[in-house]
Amino acid sequence: MKALALLLALAFFVAGILTALGTISLTHSHDVHHWKQTILLWILALLSLIWARFQQSPRRV
């Protein structure tokens, strides 16, 4: 699961860069600002990293 979380983080981070550059878009509409999508994807990358962090020691205290 940790590998999956790290892979997701990387994928979201790269997708964020690509939306910032305008290479890809999450919507068909040109009205939606690409930087909003970039921020969203980077937040998802951050959450994936946090998920990976929890995979190190899943035991509850």
Question: Footprint of other proteins on this chain (CB under 8 A)?
Answer: 26-27, 29, 31-32, 36-37, 39-40, 43-44, 47, 50, 53-54, 56-61
CB of 10 to other proteins, least distance (A): 18
The full DSSP string for 5-56 is HHHHHHHHHHHHHHHHHTS--SSS-SSS-HHHHHHHHHHHHHHHHHHHHHHH
CB of 60 to other proteins, least distance (A): 6
Residue closer to other proteins by CB (options 10, 54) is 54
